[in-house]
């Protein structure tokens, strides 16, 4: 419990959940730096941190993230900045003799038309989804870098690939957010307008609503990270998912009911759907002992409650880089 653990991106949704979980179970020597304190794109600054702090464990929860719109608008930044962030962390960890490195990626690393559910061995067997291939290519490079270090140096570097995440401290900016938090905000603001004007307000959503998606509460991912921290996993890559998926139309209806929005939903089929289905096979990690515990309705209800309690911050912040430090 005294080992020094550096959590890169500890202010973001994922990093803060991991920090909370580690503190809760008794870890006492956690290290974090905000993006104002440390620019992870700066190799010299990252190496200086490792030289000074000498962490035993590094958890990489730092990334530039966003939904389809952000990925399409900033392809170069999503590729280059994620490469810079993870390469600096991985190499500094290797050079500093870090005992364990946990790299967090995304289910978008798998081919667009890969068989469902997605298995770890499907990596690099087909073309990627074009709307987020820039982010995916960066994350694939991180996975392979950790695998190479594990193979060449025998070090305990492991990659966890979570499915679509949501929860407290998510990004609710409609320009850069993922589908679930964007829906929460859209339905909430329409519901508020309905109450103010007594007129039913429709909500417009992207695509056809037919794609299938799997969602995992960020606290369940934090549990998976703790499991990887406390066990030497026999392989280099593990999926982390809930185990079932839902259509985007079903997700919209669920969120609409939780938020109490009464208006209609209009689907803009001219907008891209993204990958038809993303459902991950997480059986490798589950067989070792990790299991998710927060079902989707409970998780969305908790997330909406957090959103209501933090509306001022949500409205004022326009997030482009999350968890940069």
Residues 146-156 pLDDT 10s: 999 999 999 99
pLDDT, position 318: 42
- Residue 170's domain comprises 5-316
What's the CATH number where 212 sits? 3.40.50.720
- pLDDT for 181-230, tens place per residue? 999 999 999 999 999 999 989 999 999 999 999 999 999 999 999 999 99
Q: Is 13 annotated as a binding residue?
A: yes
Alpha-carbon span 288 to 233, nearest angstrom: 8
Active-site residue, 135 included: yes
- Within a domain: 71: yes
Torsion of CA 94, 97, 99, 102, to 10 degrees: -20
pLDDT, position 65: 84
Q: Is 139 annotated as a binding residue?
A: yes
Q: Which residue has the higher pLDDT, 310 or 69?
A: 310
Of the residues 74, 110, 135, 304, only one is catalytic, namely: 135
**Cβ within 8 Å of residue 173, ≥6 positions away:** 314, 317, 318, 319
Q: Is 9 annotated as a binding residue?
A: yes
Confidence class of residue 12 from pLDDT cuts 50, 70 and 90?
A: very high
- Within a domain: 251: yes
- Within a domain: 116: yes
Average pLDDT estimate for 312-321 = 52
Mean pLDDT of the chain: 93
Pairing of strands 246-247, 212-213: antiparallel
- Within a domain: 274: yes
- Within a domain: 324: no
Q: Is 10 annotated as a binding residue?
A: yes
- Within a domain: 321: no
- Within a domain: 176: yes
Q: Which residue has the higher pLDDT, 176 or 244?
A: 244
Using CA atoms, how far residue 59 sits from 40, 51, 232, in Å, is: 13, 17, 14
Do 297 and 258 touch, CB atoms closer than 8 A?
Answer: yes
Do 66 and 78 touch, CB atoms closer than 8 A?
Answer: yes
- Within a domain: 325: no
Average pLDDT estimate for 77-94 = 97
Helix extents (H) in the chain: 13-25, 43-53, 68-73, 75-95, 133-153, 179-197, 218-230, 248-259, 283-288, 296-309, 311-316
Residue 32 pLDDT greater than 80, yes or no: yes
What is the tally of structural domains in the chain?
1
Confidence class of residue 315 from pLDDT cuts 50, 70 and 90?
A: low
Q: Kindly report the pTM of this predicted structure.
A: 0.92
pLDDT, position 71: 84
């Amino acid at each position: 419990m005294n080992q020094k653990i550096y959590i890169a991106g500890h202010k973001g949704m994922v990093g803060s959940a991991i920090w909370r979980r580690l503190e809760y179970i008794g870890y006492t020597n956690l290290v974090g730096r905000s993006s104002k304190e440390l620019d992870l794109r700066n190799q010299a600054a990252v190496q200086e941190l490792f030289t000074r702090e000498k962490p035993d464990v590094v958890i990489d929860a730092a990334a530039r993230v966003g939904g389809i719109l952000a990925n399409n608008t900033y392809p170069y930044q999503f590729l280059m900045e994620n490469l810079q962030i993870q390469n600096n962390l991985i190499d500094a960890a290797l050079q500093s003799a870090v005992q364990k490195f946990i790299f967090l990626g995304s289910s978008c690393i798998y081919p667009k038309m890969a068989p469902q559910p997605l298995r770890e061995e499907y990596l690099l067997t087909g073309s990627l989804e074009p709307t987020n291939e820039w982010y995916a290519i960066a994350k694939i490079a991180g996975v392979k870098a950790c695998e190479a270090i594990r193979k060449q140096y025998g070090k305990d570097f492991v990659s966890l690939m979570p499915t679509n995440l949501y929860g407290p401290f998510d990004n609710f900016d409609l320009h850069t957010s993922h589908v679930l938090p964007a829906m929460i905000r859209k339905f909430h603001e329409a519901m508020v307008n309905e109450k103010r004007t007594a007129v039913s307000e429709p909500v417009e959503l992207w695509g056809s609503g037919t794609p299938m998606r799997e969602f995992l509460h960020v606290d369940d991912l934090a549990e998976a990270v703790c499991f990887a921290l406390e066990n030497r996993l026999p392989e280099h890559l593990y999926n982390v998912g809930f185990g079932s998926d839902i259509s985007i139309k079903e997700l919209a209806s669920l969120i609409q009911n939780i938020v109490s929005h009464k208006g209609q939903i209009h689907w803009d089929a001219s907008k891209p759907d993204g990958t038809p289905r993303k459902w991950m096979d997480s059986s490798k990690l589950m067989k070792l002992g990790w299991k998710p515990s927060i079902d989707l309705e409970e998780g969305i209800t908790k997330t909406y409650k957090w959103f209501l309690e933090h509306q001022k911050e949500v409205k004022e912040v326009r997030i482009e880089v999350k968890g940069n430090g």
